[in-house]
Structure 1
Amino acid sequence: MTLRRSPISRSTASKIAGFLAPAGPKLKGEDATKAVESMRAAADAAVEHVYAITRLEAAHNLRDSEVLIVDRASWAKANVQSFSVLLAPLASSPMGKKLESMSATEYKLATSAASAELGAILAFLSGKVLGQYDPYAQDAGVSDKVGRLMIVAPNLVALEKELNLEPEDFRLWVCLHEQTHRVQFAAAPWLKDYMLDQVRALTNEMGDSQKFMEQLVSSSRKARAELKGKKLADTAPPSRVFDQGFTEEGRARISHLTAIMSLMEGHANVVMDSVDRSIVPTVKTIRQRFERRSAAQKFLTKFIYSLLGMDAKKRQYRDGQKFVQYIVDERGMDAFNRIWTSPNTLPTEDEIHDPQAWIDRVLGQPKETSSNSAEA
């Protein structure tokens, strides 16, 4: 993909994200070193706990990715890198050709608007995200590992202080969630490319959308005209280039991605809620205070929805957790783990709200036990 065919300047978005990302609380000297070591230890310890809870063999002694303890600016810049992977299809779409045909000024204005928006979004989210597993680091050419697990140190430290939590316990609790995402991709090695294909298809549809292209060109020309008339400072910024409609097929893909993300976040939340005081001594306190605070919306949904110009579905992850817990309660964790078998065993968005429908479709009726057969 050539830079000329991308609506996003990776360097510009990274600079803006890094510049706008708030620094957060700072630790000095020995305190900073101890905090980083503690978070690394928590990430490492979480692996075997996730294995014990999920019963997924892929989780056993999993060491396939980098573990990075990062600040807010580094997290934002890292996501610009991975974001570039999603935009690859635009190079061969009508969008790529349209960008290539723009004048230098129009292209600069168009990419500046889109890059600034992405950088600003990531800068804002950098103060909300506690951790993230990025499965696309290798695809972005920034790691020779399968992926990277990032723990955003200043956000953990800030929340620990705000909620008066035991740091060691809270760090392990957070790492249980993020390591579960890592395990999901390890248990379903096809999932990374499958999700990428879905997102890329949507990205490509944006590139094929005449409406999308017209708005991009119109925004750049409007900005150029305003610059000439020196009226830019008095007017609203160019319209967001991602706020576009999709075809019926595109909306179906969005629904499918919504279901997948609900599943993944719900599964990670179930794992977090499965630990007891023997693993996280103050887990009850953490849950109570964390829930009262009304934790920030998870990154992946907000990121994708910002890309697509959609409103976030606030109940998405809560519904995903209910979906997972229902199946585990009804049929057990081993039966639930069938969900990682193939794309056909993933839930639809309707099934997220009706887990029994997924059970009926994928698991079928439970086998009768020998005692039940004898009674019959």
Structure 2
Amino acid sequence: MTEQPPWQSGDSAEQRKIDEQIAAKMGISLERLYEIDRQVAADVEARDAIPQDQRTVSGNPKFSKGFGPVTPENSLQPGEIGAYYDAVDSEPDATAEGNEFPEVGREWPPRSPRTGYEPWTRFPVFYYPVTRRDKLLGYLYASVSWDTAGFLRNLPSWRHFNPFSDPSGDASEVWEDRLDACYAKGMSAQDAVRSWVGVAEDSKAGGIAADVVEGHSETLEGLNQSLNPGGPEVPNPWIQNGMYPDGTPVDRSEGWGDLVSAPVVRYPEETKGRVAFYPVTKEGGVLGWVWAAMDGDAADYIPFRQSGWYGFGAGGLWIQRLSEAFNRGDTPLEALEYCRTFPEDNMSGLIEPDAPIGEFDNLQQMRDWADQ
């Protein structure tokens, strides 16, 4: 009889519960976990068919142990993987084979070049109603003075609407492509939006009537609430139009005032009870976790130690998002759900829309998990 690994249970129901916990911590579905298991089994079988002296094996015990016969030499010891990564972190020139992220000390990869206008702004906007067969699909808008343009969807009965049958969804995709094409031609955001006034109505995107009156709004959120009263807010990134919320330019060459310490107003970072969490991922690798107290007032972001500076650097944006929720008066669990509404950031990753929520009995358990 084959001996089961110590983390497996002989009871099928108990094993499924364990598997569900593992999948939740990885941010994937149980079916995906089983798919990975099957692939690993196939890979191990293929590897075992290769003569020992012809194999290329990483020095990482995560990949070089735990396969094949159960022997003391082939079994992972408590803390062994963590010790390996500690050694890698202490040697800047070493390469952590098998890690999804470049080793600590490497330069960050360059940001992807912009392919379109910025979609959000804190400054006034002008807009035009987009209709299809006299039905309002949304507003095509642009900043009055900045390189911002986008399409704001009309969400009828937004609390219960079906996103797959709502015509504004198809229209949004077409307008996004149209604006990207205008951006590629070098058109300003203002000219791009105005160039579509009077163009023949499209079967999906609708159109803007030639005699329509241009509207104005002091803020994009104000326009959104006039279109979708009580509906979800538009995203409010920390940096918009190259500036922080207080108007400070991101580019220091454009002039900074005196540098002062301004701590972020946020939820408490400690709790004694159970915590719920979502994994933050980027390109398939875990950067860290956003967590919230299930019965308390705490919430925070914890980086995954094995992701190095990538996980640490991702935390700033998630902490800012939690701060936004705190200032709005959200409970920690509401803030946790708010964090999963954002699209992927090329530095801070995202919470996958279908990521299952995970739980730990206490915060220390989660910290131990993150530090392994």
- Structure 1 and Structure 2 fold alike (TM over 0.5): no
Relative to total residues, which structure has the larger strand share, 1 or 2?
Answer: 2
**Alignment TM-score, normalising by the size of structure 2:** 0.20
TM score, norm. by length of structure 1:
0.20
Larger Rg: 2
Between 1 and 2, higher relative CO (CA 8 Å, sep ≥ 6) is seen in 1
